[in-house]
Amino acid sequence: MPRFVVCARSPLTGALGRSEAGGFWGPELKRAGIGALVVTGRAARPSYLLATPDGVEIRDATAAWGLETGDAEDAIKADVGDPKARVALVGPAGERLVRYAGIANDLAHFNGRNGMGAVMGSKNLKAVAVRGGRRLEVHDSAGVRAIAGAAAKLCREHPLASLLHDQGTATGVETNNAAGALATRHWRSTTFAGADRTGTAVLNGTYLVKRGGCYACPVNCKRVVAVDGDRVQVDPRYGGPEYETLAAFGSNCGVGDFELIAKANELCNRYGIDTISAGMTVSWLMACFEDGLIGREDTGGLEVRFGDGETVLELLGLIARREGVGDLLAEGSVRAAAAIGRGTGALVVAAKGQEVPMHDPRVKRGLGLQYALSPVGADHWFAQHDPMFASEAGAGVVDGAPLGLDRPVDPSTSAPTRSTWSGRPVSSTASTTASASASSAPTPAA
């Protein structure tokens, strides 16, 4: 499994911070013979860690400090003396303690949520470079290969995996728009007239350079894009926008220009900024401006309105550098609203201090429960999404059947009347209906 987790106290929520990423960095760390790294304290000067099979050492990162992620990765690889080293690092946003700064590896894979990049910045830790080389020994290599082959075949046949392989996550723009569940103009609407100009059709049809993926993953859902125009240039080195980013800076900000959205993604990857919190914080500012709660005197003279993709790009630079209104926005929408007042807090869309992802809990009712129960704030990967369990043919129901999770759940209601685990009745005092239904559920098998 190529995914790895970074945990610390979140500077955004003040509680547990947890952020996942894919790519190749995690497997490379394992090939260095390391299962986990624990970093404590703060370095006296900018530093990076180098992890190899020989151990871990602290190295000077002064030459890389202040650089964007691409240039910083080049500098660190040159210092390591190995172009094949994998580097997880922060950009200017992490160094300046933007509360939703992320950690990039290979420039296009991100630990984006909960501000883990700011934690690294607070420790003067620019990067963790790893170079493995060890062969991982397993008890039954033939058995592992057989399982891997079966899993790859299953991915090709699985409806969700095959869709992600063919279309990428960008397909969520069109599908959520069709379902009336696409974040639009800071959630003031859930359908966007420009969805066909910002989703998978235009990405795959016009701007796609190649498909990408994570270590040993047969799905290859990532997309690498490039733009080389007079108005906008996007470097494919920084990958391409996923669904969350396309919606966060697209429909959510009222922007129907794919090239500007792709540039916003590149800038976030260069600066090391979570695209979800950034997009939601910018859209909150737009809503406040359009409602007359703030004016140019609050934005440094900027006219911040829905649909203005050029201003989105300008704001991202201000956030990363903590300049002007960007210094306030770098705190996140919850703290920014508390600082401004004037009713701006009523326009914040967040859970437990973290801005919500681009999925509508009014359509996916279980998602609302997921946000409420998640200890890390609003996080769309805290649990699986409701539509996977909406019908008997749904991927979640089919895959969960061997575990007894074989009954569909209507995503439009948060009060199911029957247990979704056929082997155990649900007891509930929330309503007489729920209690009565639970009492008639099958008894556990001996």
CATH number at residue 269: 1.10.569.10
Q: Looking at the predicted structure, is the pLDDT value of residue 31 above 50?
A: yes
Helix (H/G/I), strand (E/B), else coil: 32: coil
* Domain range for 309: 168-348
Band (pLDDT 50/70/90 cuts) for residue 227 is very high
DSSP annotation of 55 reads E
**SS3 annotation, 393-420:** CCHHHHHHHHHCCCCCCCCCCCCCCCCC
Closest CA to 242 of 12, 6, 21, 8: 21
Q: Choose the final residue of a domain: 79, 102, 130.
A: 130
Asked if 77 and 200 sit in the same domain, the reply is no
The residues pairing with 125 across neighbouring beta strands, listed in sequence order, are 47
Asked if 176 and 292 sit in the same domain, the reply is yes
Asked if 326 and 392 sit in the same domain, the reply is no
**pLDDT for the residue 416:** 45
The residue to which tokens 């992600």 are assigned: 164
5 and 19 Cβ atoms separated by less than 8 Å: yes
How many of the other CB atoms lie within 10 Å of CB of 433?
11
Q: Looking at the predicted structure, is the pLDDT value of residue 343 above 60?
A: yes
> 361 lies in a domain?
no
Q: What is the pTM of this model?
A: 0.90
> 141 lies in a domain?
no
Across the range 430-435, mean pLDDT stands at 26
Q: Choose the final residue of a domain: 101, 130, 159.
A: 130
> 397 lies in a domain?
yes
Asked if 339 and 393 sit in the same domain, the reply is no
> 237 lies in a domain?
yes
Q: Looking at the predicted structure, is the pLDDT value of residue 27 above 70?
A: yes
Across the range 357-383, mean pLDDT stands at 89
CATH code at position 43: 3.60.9.10
170 and 184 Cβ atoms separated by less than 8 Å: no
Closest CA to 125 of 48, 35, 212, 214: 48
Asked if 322 and 197 sit in the same domain, the reply is yes
Across the range 379-403, mean pLDDT stands at 82
> 363 lies in a domain?
no
Across the range 47-61, mean pLDDT stands at 97
Taking the C-alpha atoms of residue 115 and residue 101, their distance in angstroms, rounded to an integer, is 5
> 377 lies in a domain?
no
| Cα dist from 265 to 196, 278, 305, 316, whole Å | 18, 10, 19, 10
| Mean of the per-residue pLDDT values of the chain | 90
> 147 lies in a domain?
no
> 362 lies in a domain?
no
Across the range 164-192, mean pLDDT stands at 95
Instruction: Name 184's Cβ contacts closer than 8 Å, sequence gap at least 6.
Output: 190, 191, 192, 251, 252, 254
Closest CA to 258 of 171, 306, 195: 195
Asked if 219 and 332 sit in the same domain, the reply is yes
Q: Choose the final residue of a domain: 348, 378, 406.
A: 348
Asked if 17 and 114 sit in the same domain, the reply is yes
Band (pLDDT 50/70/90 cuts) for residue 1 is low
Taking the C-alpha atoms of residue 315 and residue 308, their distance in angstroms, rounded to an integer, is 11
Q: Looking at the predicted structure, is the pLDDT value of residue 390 above 90?
A: no
358 and 187 Cβ atoms separated by less than 8 Å: no
- pLDDT cut 70: percent of the chain above it: 92
Asked if 202 and 284 sit in the same domain, the reply is yes
Highest mean predicted confidence (pLDDT) among 2-6, 213-217, 335-339, 400-404: 335-339
Q: Looking at the predicted structure, is the pLDDT value of residue 184 above 70?
A: yes
Asked if 309 and 191 sit in the same domain, the reply is yes
* Length, in residues, of the chain: 446
Helix (H/G/I), strand (E/B), else coil: 340: helix
- The domain total for the chain is 3
**pLDDT for the residue 398:** 85
User: How close are the terminal C-alpha atoms of the chain, in Å?
Assistant: 35
Instruction: Name 205's Cβ contacts closer than 8 Å, sequence gap at least 6.
Output: none
238-257 pLDDT, tens digit per residue, is: 999 999 999 999 999 999 99
Taking the C-alpha atoms of residue 142 and residue 5, their distance in angstroms, rounded to an integer, is 29
The residues pairing with 350 across neighbouring beta strands, listed in sequence order, are 355
Asked if 75 and 177 sit in the same domain, the reply is no
Asked if 273 and 400 sit in the same domain, the reply is no
The residue to which tokens 């009713």 are assigned: 343
Asked if 178 and 321 sit in the same domain, the reply is yes
